[in-house]
Structure 1
C-alpha cells in the first residue's frame, strides 16, 4: 500500500503551484499556509538543490465533521499537498487521508477520509494537466 498519491506534470514549478491553488479552490479547499523549503533553507544559509513547496489545505466543513467525530484527528490536519522538483521533473502529491485514518483505526472516519482523498486527487490531477 502506498502512503502517498502523486502525479508528474509537464508544467513548470511555478505553473504547477498556480494550477494547484486554482484547482484546490474549485473542489472546495482553501490554502491556509504555504512553505517553500528551498527559500526557507536559503534564509538559514543552506542550499537545497530542488524546489519543494508544502501547502496546508482545508475544507472547513470536512474538518469540522472530522474534529467533531474524533478530536485527536487534528494531529493530521490540515491536509498537506506538495509540489516538488526532482530530476528535472515536477511532481504534485499528498499523503492519502485514508491511509492516515487507517493508522488511527477509526473506521467511522473512513467515508470522510475517502471523500477528502477523492477531492484532493481531483485537484491534483486537474493541476497536473
Structure 2
C-alpha cells in the first residue's frame, strides 16, 4: 500500500524544513506538532539516525469538515509530514489523505481527502518548482 507522497530536494535539511513550513502555510496548513526524531532517539536511546523531523500539519477547515463526517477521524489527524536527510538530499513525504477514506470506508470523506491531497501536492510542487 502506498501511503505517502514524496519529493526529493537538493536543499540542506534546515532550509528544507523552513521551506516546507512556508509551503504548507500557503495552502492553509498550520504546524500543530513537531517531533525531532533524531534528537529524541539520541536522548532516549543513545542511537544515531539521519536528520529526521515529523511535522503534524493541520488545515482547520478540512479537519472540521472531516470531523463532521466522522468524529473518530481525529485518530488519523493531523496530516504527518516527514522531512529527512537521505543520500545528500532532503526527502519530504506527506501522508496521503486518501488513507482516511480507505481506512474508514466513509465515502463522505472523499471530497475532504481530495481537497487535502490537492493542497498538499500544491505545497510539494512549490518546493520543487
TM-score range, shorter chain: over 0.9
Is the CA contact (8 Å cut-off) linking 2:100 and 2:109 kept in structure 1? no
Unaligned runs of 5+ in 2: none
Match of 2:120 in 1: 120
Return the offset for 1:86. Answer: 1.8
Match of 2:100 in 1: 100
Is the CA contact (8 Å cut-off) linking 1:31 and 1:55 kept in structure 2? yes
Normalised TM-score (structure 2): 0.93
Match of 2:46 in 1: 46
The CA distance in 1 between the partners of 2:100 and 2:94, in whole Å, is: 11
Is the CA contact (8 Å cut-off) linking 1:92 and 1:128 kept in structure 2? no
Normalised TM-score (structure 1): 0.93
Return the offset for 1:88. Answer: 2.2
The CA distance in 2 between the partners of 1:48 and 1:82, in whole Å, is: 17
The CA distance in 1 between the partners of 2:45 and 2:77, in whole Å, is: 30
Match of 1:27 in 2: 27
Is the CA contact (8 Å cut-off) linking 1:10 and 1:128 kept in structure 2? no
Match of 1:84 in 2: 84
Return the offset for 1:85. Answer: 1.2
Return the offset for 1:42. Answer: 1.5
Return the offset for 1:113. Answer: 0.3
Unaligned runs of 5+ in 1: none
Residue aligned with 1:44, SS? helix
